[in-house]
Amino acid sequence: MDVAGTNTRMANYLREHQDKVIGRWSELVVTGVRGRTSLDEVRRDLADLYSLVIRVLSEADDHAAGELRAALDELSRARARDGFTPSETALGVFSLKDAVYELVADAAEMVPEYLTFSRMIDDLGLRTFEAYSAAREQIISDQSTAMMELSTPVVRLWDGVIAVPLVGMLDSARTQLVMEKLLDTLVATGADHAVIDITGVSTVDTEVAQHLLKTVSAARLLGAECTISGIRPQVAQTIVSLGIEFGDIATKATLADALALALHQAGLKVVPR
Amino acid sequence: MEQVPILKIGQTLFVSIQIDLLDDSVIRLQEDLADELAATGAHGVIIDITAVEIVDSFIGRMLSTIGSISRLFDAETVIVGMRPAVAITLTELGLSLSGVRTALNAEKGLEILNGKS
């Protein structure tokens, strides 16, 4: 089969019926996404894609294929960010097939051309899907980075006393980050007492305890004393039943008790006025 | 083999390590420090490792050993200025530097020694 000829004929056919196809294609897309974008907006995007598809088919220049891919990637990324589902995104490309098919159905001589064209659209559809999932992955990794940064604040409680309130699940990556941030803050502020508050930590297992112990001994190497506070009744029971030993590390029920201990060790006393 | 200078300030020996610690240098430091402690009868040793970026298990162990040796001369050892990365490494290696005190900086190290005397 003469592929180049087929493609050129298809390109000419599409060029002839440009307005009709784009009109129908836009309608299909807008119905597919249930009116979340306006017809004019879709039309503008699709008209660009359409002319790129024609340029690729007619093999007018080498850049067309690259440009088409870039345009599709951009469109899929925008869709992923706006919260469209993957099928809605892929539908945007596949409905071009439907729009063209409705025309070709009346013209029997265009069938071989339509088949090659259909294969090309399938490839483009896959491409959108790939770009879509890449964009989603990107969003997820951005969010987890943001959460990581949000979830580990180091606050100054008093002159020379800092605290790290831990909230949520503790895993190796997060504890590592907490450890680094705590030690950096100790060095930067010259604080010699740190309180690790685990009121917000839902579960303490052997791994989490191990991480906490490591953080405390690293802080000790810097010359700072650590207190663990906010141990809830259930957590205390778990720790004992797992046989975890906190050794000579001071543990307190509340952050207030830990602060009182830190002040006491610093030789300070809080008295009523 | 590079030598680490030992400064005597009052009743305290002050060692500031400004070079990349090699095994040879640490062994030499340990010997020099023992000689110096015997000769001066100092009551405290401050080892400043602010400039040390890389440690291994041998160096970690030698720091503990230096602490134990000093204790035999009735001198307390304080390691000051450890970097967070070094502290994490030593913890991962399972070394807690028993037998030595630690402080954030030289000033706090001196306070510990003076508080003792």
C-alpha distances out from residue A80 to A56, A83, A139, A212, Å:
25, 5, 9, 39
Write out residues 68-87 of B within 8 Å (CB-CB) of A: 78-80, 82-84, 86-87
Chain B residue numbers with beta carbons less than 8 Å from the beta carbon of A218 are 84, 87-88, 90-91
In eight-state DSSP terms, residue B101 is: E
Higher pLDDT, A151 or B7: B7
Q: Do B104 and A222 touch (CB under 8 A)?
A: yes
| Predicted pLDDT of residue B75 | 92
Q: Which domains does chain B have, with CATH numbers?
A: 6-111 (3.30.750.24)
| Predicted pLDDT of residue B33 | 92
pLDDT digit string, tens, across residues B72-115: 999 999 999 999 999 999 999 988 888 899 999 999 999 888 88
Task: Give CA–CA dist B12/A270, Å, rounded.
Answer: 35
- To test the contact with chain A by mutation, choose from B49, B50, B102, B104 the residue with the greatest count of A C-beta atoms within 10 A, namely B104
- To test the contact with chain B by mutation, choose from A154, A211, A216, A222 the residue with the greatest count of B C-beta atoms within 10 A, namely A222
Q: Do B87 and A222 touch (CB under 8 A)?
A: yes
| Predicted pLDDT of residue A60 | 64
| Predicted pLDDT of residue B117 | 44
Chain B residue numbers with beta carbons less than 8 Å from the beta carbon of A186 are 84, 104
Checking if the pLDDT of A15 tops 90, the result is no
Question: Which residue(s) pair with B54 in the sheet?
Answer: none
| Predicted pLDDT of residue B116 | 52
Spatial CA neighbour of B49 closest among B76, B84, B74, B23: B84
Q: Residue A69 — pLDDT band, cuts 50, 70, 90?
A: confident
Task: Give CA–CA dist A149/A188, Å, rounded.
Answer: 18
pLDDT digit string, tens, across residues A189-231: 989 899 999 988 888 888 888 888 889 999 999 999 999 999 8
Write out residues 198-257 of A within 8 Å (CB-CB) of B: 214, 217-224
| Predicted pLDDT of residue A197 | 92
Chain A residue numbers with beta carbons less than 8 Å from the beta carbon of B91 are 214, 217-218, 221
Q: Do B84 and A186 touch (CB under 8 A)?
A: yes
| SS3 track for A89-125 | HHHHHHHHHHHHHHHHCCCHHHHHHHHHHHHHHHHHH
Q: Residue B45 — pLDDT band, cuts 50, 70, 90?
A: very high
Checking if the pLDDT of B57 tops 80, the result is yes
Bridge pairing between strands B44-48 and A193-200: unpaired
A28-A30-A35-A41 Cα dihedral, nearest 10 degrees: -160
Nearest Cα of chain A lies from the Cα of B87 at a distance, in angstroms, of: 5
Task: Give CA–CA dist B89/B86, Å, rounded.
Answer: 5
Q: Do B80 and A180 touch (CB under 8 A)?
A: no
Cα-Cα end-to-end distance for chain B: 35
Chain A residue numbers with beta carbons less than 8 Å from the beta carbon of B83 are 187
Sequence-ordered list of residues with C-beta below 8 angstroms from that of B76, at least 6 positions apart, any chain: B43, B44, B45, B70, B101, B112, B113, B116
| Predicted pLDDT of residue A40 | 82
Question: Which residue(s) pair with A195 in the sheet?
Answer: A163, A227
Chain B residue numbers with beta carbons less than 8 Å from the beta carbon of A187 are 83-84, 104
| Predicted pLDDT of residue A35 | 67
Task: Give CA–CA dist A231/A254, Å, rounded.
Answer: 7
In eight-state DSSP terms, residue B51 is: T
Tokens of A273: 């006025």
| Predicted pLDDT of residue A2 | 65
Query: DSSP readout, chain A?
Result: --HHHHHHHHHHHHHHTHHHHHHHHHHHHHHHTTTSS-HHHHHHHHHHHHHHHHHHHHT--THHHHHHHHHHHHHHHHHHHTT--HHHHHHHHHHHHHHHHHHHTT-GGGHHHHHHHHHHHHHHHHHHHHHHHHHHHHHHHHHHHHHHHHT---EEEETTEEEEEEES---HHHHHHHHHHHHHHHHHHT--EEEEEEEE-----HHHHHHHHHHHHHHHHHT-EEEEE---HHHHHHHHHHT---TT-EEESSHHHHHHHHHHHTT------
| Predicted pLDDT of residue A263 | 92
Q: Do A187 and B92 touch (CB under 8 A)?
A: no
| Predicted pLDDT of residue A3 | 66
Residue A240 region by backbone torsions, left for phi larger than 0, else alpha for psi between -120 and 50, else beta:
alpha
**Beta-carbon contacts below 8 Å between A and B:** 56
Of all residues in chain A, the one with the smallest CA distance to B78 is A223
Q: Which domains does chain A have, with CATH numbers?
A: 3-144 (1.10.490), 155-265 (3.30.750.24)
Residue A230 region by backbone torsions, left for phi larger than 0, else alpha for psi between -120 and 50, else beta:
left
Tokens of A171: 């895993």
pLDDT digit string, tens, across residues A102-160: 888 777 777 888 888 888 888 888 888 888 889 889 988 988 888 777 767 889 998 88
Checking if the pLDDT of A76 tops 90, the result is no
Sequence-ordered list of residues with C-beta below 8 angstroms from that of A117, at least 6 positions apart, any chain: A10, A57, A97, A100
Contact A170, A206 (CB under 8 A): no
Percent of chain A scoring above 90 in pLDDT: 19
Task: Give CA–CA dist B63/B17, Å, rounded.
Answer: 12
Checking if the pLDDT of A37 tops 80, the result is no
Q: Residue A1 — pLDDT band, cuts 50, 70, 90?
A: low
Nearest Cα of chain A lies from the Cα of B115 at a distance, in angstroms, of: 13
- Comparing CB atoms, the residue among A183, A190, A191 nearest residue B87 is A183
Percent of chain A scoring above 70 in pLDDT: 97
Write out residues 177-196 of A within 8 Å (CB-CB) of B: 179-180, 183-184, 186-187, 190-192
- To test the contact with chain B by mutation, choose from A185, A186, A221 the residue with the greatest count of B C-beta atoms within 10 A, namely A221
| Least confident residue range of A60-69, A138-147, A173-182, A226-235 | A60-69
